[in-house]
């Protein structure tokens, strides 16, 4: 049976804030309402998030299977981790695996140059500092969390620096490195594993090639150990039962309590209060929302900042309400009906193509369109182990441009600097 740390590094955003969730999950497991497989998602989040929340623009023209389930994405992430591990252990290049077929969790993937390219920057950075990193090591966190452990992707010592690198293959949303509890716990475990060496700086790296690339956060050893003391205090509160439910977007996202039939009462109340604060009169049968321009500005951004949690919650409510109707116990005022026929498809596509071409000729096919940039890179870009098409590739690069991205709204503590803008009042002053 797969071992699970009760307080795993990858679920630290949950248990370090929502301390009551630990005992609740233990209770649900003991009652059979949660299984070991339900805990996997909390410990090791899939490579992408819920498909309803995924930003597919990150794939830049890549052909996607929108029916692909999350296990297929997480399996691809597992394969990429395995290649990275072999490269760091054996000193080989990720392009050595191009053309090989690797399997994980029942899914097979033929490794191509594009996949190998994703691993290069992170491996190169590690090799700039060491030729003998610790790879996929189980780190003991007992000094701070008795009986707990974690699996660290990569750790190494370089002079007076401790480095920790975590590979994330997902493209759904960039994972921020600044403030990461997960990597700080890995760093504590790696420092212990290495015999508590005298280091001055700790460099934490998230290698997420499809969503932000290489990201770094440098802290001192004293700052890391101060975090370790905070972890001890949280553990002490959990052990003596001095706990509370504190729902949050990060903490609730992978919490296994969401999988249960009843869901999480604290999360439900939090989101209902959020919606209620935006309603003009919650007692009316048809809800009417306040004019956003008239809302308190702090409340307006609070709702915006937690919109993903709200969308995921609404999806869960819909699924639960539909299932209740299908079980013969519909929610008051609801019923399940026949959803009509699904989309048409050919049971024998090859035979259908013969008939269509015979009847319509070239009209049987869609007009030709250029392939996307991902396919262009795969077919034309010169690589370490493929010739590619250097001349047309270079000629194409002269024709490639990309516009600036749209402004994004984020919390004020986000590591990127704010855009430089001129306040509206100052714009009117310029007209005087």
Quick: pLDDT tens for 3-32.
456 899 999 999 999 999 999 999 999 999
Given this model, what pLDDT does residue 163 score? 98
Phi, psi of 394 (to 5 degrees): -65, -40
Given this model, what pLDDT does residue 62 score? 38
* CA distance readout (Å), 91 to 1, 106, 123, 172: 32, 28, 10, 30
Please tell me the distance from the alpha carbon of residue 342 to that of residue 333, in angstroms, as a whole number: 26
Please tell me the distance from the alpha carbon of residue 24 to that of residue 41, in angstroms, as a whole number: 17
Q: Give per-residue pLDDT as tens, 341-372.
A: 888 889 999 999 999 899 888 888 888 788 88
Given this model, what pLDDT does residue 432 score? 54
pLDDT at residue 50 above 50? Answer: no
Is residue 118 a contact partner of residue 204, using CB atoms and an 8 Å limit?
Answer: no
Q: Give per-residue pLDDT as tens, 156-204.
A: 999 999 999 999 998 877 899 999 999 999 999 999 999 999 999 999 9
For the chain, the 3-state helix, strand and coil shares in percent, each to the nearest 5, are: 45, 10, 40
**H/E run at residue 116:** helix 113-129
* CA distance readout (Å), 113 to 172, 192, 289: 21, 37, 50
Nearest to 49 by CA among 399, 264, 312: 312
pLDDT at residue 95 above 60? Answer: yes
Average pLDDT, the chain: 85
Q: How confident is the model at residue 54 (pLDDT cuts 50, 70, 90)?
A: very low
Given this model, what pLDDT does residue 63 score? 37
Token pair for 355: 């008939």
DSSP state of 146: T
Given this model, what pLDDT does residue 380 score? 85
* CA distance readout (Å), 217 to 176, 413, 415: 9, 14, 10
More confident residue, 74 or 137: 137
Sequence ranges of the domains in the chain: 9-249, 264-326, 351-394
- Beta-carbon contacts of 7 under 8 Å, excluding residues fewer than 6 positions away, are 15, 22, 141, 145, 148, 235, 238
Is residue 142 a contact partner of residue 148, using CB atoms and an 8 Å limit?
Answer: yes
Could you give the percent of the chain with pLDDT greater than 90? 47
pLDDT at residue 408 above 90? Answer: no
Please tell me the distance from the alpha carbon of residue 200 to that of residue 181, in angstroms, as a whole number: 19
- For residues 259-279, one letter each, b for 16 or more C-beta atoms within 10 angstroms of the residue's C-beta and e for the rest, the string is beeebbebbeebbeebeeebe
Is residue 145 a contact partner of residue 138, using CB atoms and an 8 Å limit?
Answer: no
| Mean pLDDT, range 320-331, rounded to an integer | 89
Q: Based on DSSP, count helices (H) and strands (E) in the chain, helices before strands.
A: 15, 7
**Which of 127-136, 292-301, 383-392, 398-407: highest mean pLDDT?**
127-136
Given this model, what pLDDT does residue 169 score? 93
Residue with tokens 């929340």: 53
Given this model, what pLDDT does residue 374 score? 76
Given this model, what pLDDT does residue 146 score? 95
Lowest mean pLDDT among 102-111, 155-164, 293-302: 293-302
């Amino acid at each position: 049976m797969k071992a699970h740390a009760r307080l795993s590094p990858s679920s630290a955003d949950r248990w370090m804030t929502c301390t009551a969730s630990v005992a609740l999950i233990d209770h649900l497991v003991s009652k059979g309402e949660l299984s070991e497989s339900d805990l996997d998602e909390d410990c090791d989040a899939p490579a992408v998030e819920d498909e309803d929340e995924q930003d597919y623009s990150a794939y830049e023209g890549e052909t996607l299977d929108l029916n692909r389930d999350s296990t297929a994405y997480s399996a691809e992430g597992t394969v990429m981790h395995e290649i990275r591990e072999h490269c760091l252990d054996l000193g080989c290049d990720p392009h050595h695996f191009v053309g090989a077929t690797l399997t994980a969790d029942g899914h097979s993937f033929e490794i191509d140059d594009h996949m190998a390219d994703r691993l290069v920057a992170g491996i190169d950075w590690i090799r700039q500092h060491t030729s003998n990193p610790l790879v996929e090591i189980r780190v003991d966190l007992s000094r701070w969390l008795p009986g707990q452990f974690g699996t660290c992707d990569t750790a190494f010592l370089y002079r007076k620096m401790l480095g920790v690198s975590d590979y994330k293959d997902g493209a759904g949303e960039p994972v921020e490195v600044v403030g990461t509890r997960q990597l700080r716990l890995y760093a504590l475990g790696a420092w212990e594993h290495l015999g508590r060496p005298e280091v001055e700086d700790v460099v934490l790296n998230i290698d997420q090639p499809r969503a932000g690339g290489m990201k770094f956060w440098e802290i001192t050893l004293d700052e890391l150990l101060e975090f370790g003391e905070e972890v001890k205090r949280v553990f002490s509160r959990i052990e003596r039962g001095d706990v509370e439910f504190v729902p949050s977007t990060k903490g609730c996202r992978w919490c296994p309590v969401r999988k249960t039939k009843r869901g999480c009462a604290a999360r439900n109340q939090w989101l209902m209060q959020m919606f209620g604060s935006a309603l003009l009169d919650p007692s009316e049968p048809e809800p009417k929302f306040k004019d956003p321009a008239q809302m308190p500005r702090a409340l307006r951004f609070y709702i915006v900042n937690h919109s993903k949690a709200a969308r995921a919650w609404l999806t869960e409510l819909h699924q639960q309400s539909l299932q209740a109707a299908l079980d013969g116990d519909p929610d008051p005022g609801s019923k399940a009906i026949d959803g009509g026929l699904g989309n048409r498809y050919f049971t024998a596509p090859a035979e259908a193509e013969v008939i269509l071409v015979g009847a319509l000729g070239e009209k049987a096919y869609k007009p030709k369109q250029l392939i996307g940039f991902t396919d262009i890179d795969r077919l034309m870009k010169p690589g370490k182990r493929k010739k590619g098409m250097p001349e047309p590739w270079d000629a194409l690069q002269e024709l490639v441009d990309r516009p600036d991205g749209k402004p994004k709204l984020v919390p004020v503590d986000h590591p990127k600097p704010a855009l430089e803008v001129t306040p509206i009042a100052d714009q009117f002053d310029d007209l005087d």
